[in-house]
Amino acid sequence: MIEICEVGPRDGIQNEVKFVPTDTKVALIQKLIDSGVQYVEAVSFVNRKVVPQMADAEELLSRLPVQDDVKYAGLVLSRTGLERALKTDIGYLHVVTTTSDSFNLKNAKRTVEDATAELSGVVADGVAAGRNVVGVLGTAFGCPFEGEVPVERVLRVAETFLKTGCRAITLADTTGMANPQQVADVVAAFKRAFGADLDVGLHFHNTRGLGLANVLAGYHAGVERFDSSIGGLGGCPFAPKAVGNVCTEDMVNMFHGMGVETGTDLEQLVETAKGMEQNIERPLDGMLMKAGIA
């Protein structure tokens, strides 16, 4: 069965111009859970002034329903973010670095090597504190500033994170540059390097219209965990030209049509997407919410 990590409440909302109240986020996450989603990237522990949509991370987490079968994750980009996260009860930490020096230097003022050195300590301390840590590697399929990112560099960063305690790795296509053949090749390289049992997830943006095609390529390459966003919400405030994430209900529709289980109720997901479109007050990118299921 496919595991969906729903990133709409974090990656989806963070770039919206219209402020999304905490009440709306709580209601969205509850509806997603009611639809069968069991893994939600709910918050980001980042500078409140830089990403004001995520300023309510602690309050939001305190108001979410506690269920044994639901996992909540928060994005961590620095030691300061880790310190905030560890003051909450969040169970999963998504520790993020990009794998492109050009991207990192423009957005974090440090090289990939420097970022990896700091964040490997963050990973180790998060694990020591009893949290599940997933390493998220941005620009894993290309950089908007320097183009190709060698897969060997992505593998080196992944190896460092795994050695310091990461339970899984997510490969993120930060600005939607991946293509299906590349996805298959990169996943194969990871399996050769770390073994078939490594928990690898994929995170795609639909910038160039290849989001679902890349998901399918990843699935055929053996990946069973995918990030997606309700209604196709998304975009990164640090990544030029990044548009929405792969749309959750569109991805579920594809898998259900293939006879692949996702554990989710497609009709409920579509209704949730329509409701979020009303809250955001702009058209969202999801296709199924426009075309209908039948």
Q: DSSP for 139-151? A: TTT-BTTTB---H
User: For the chain (length 294 residues), average pLDDT per consecutive 10?
Assistant: 97 90 98 98 95 96 96 97 98 97 87 94 98 97 92 97 97 94 98 96 94 98 98 69 83 98 98 95 92 87
Q: Which domains does the chain have, with CATH numbers?
A: 3-291 (3.20.20.70)
- d(CA 76, CA 237) in angstroms, rounded, equals 15
Residue 173, φ and ψ in degrees, nearest 5: -95, 80
| Bridge partner list, 173 | 204
Residue 133, φ and ψ in degrees, nearest 5: -115, 130
3-state helix vs strand vs coil in the chain, percent to 5: 45, 20, 40
| pLDDT value of residue 239 | 54
Cβ(1)–Cβ(261) below 8 Å? yes
Q: From the candidates 143, 166, 236, 247, which is the catalytic residue?
A: 236
| Entry pTM | 0.96
| pLDDT value of residue 240 | 55
Determine the longest span between alpha carbons in the chain, in angstroms: 51
The question of whether 236 is a catalytic residue gets the answer yes
Helix axes 211-220, 248-257, angle to 10 degrees: 50
Token pair, residue 63, equals: 């108001």
Terminal-to-terminal C-alpha distance of the chain? 23
| Bridge partner list, 89 | none
Q: Which residue has the tokens 């590349």?
A: 182
| pLDDT value of residue 175 | 86
Cα–Cα distances (Å) from 39 to 29, 33, 36, 73, in that order, read 10, 9, 9, 8
| pLDDT value of residue 236 | 55
| pLDDT value of residue 250 | 98
| pLDDT value of residue 87 | 98
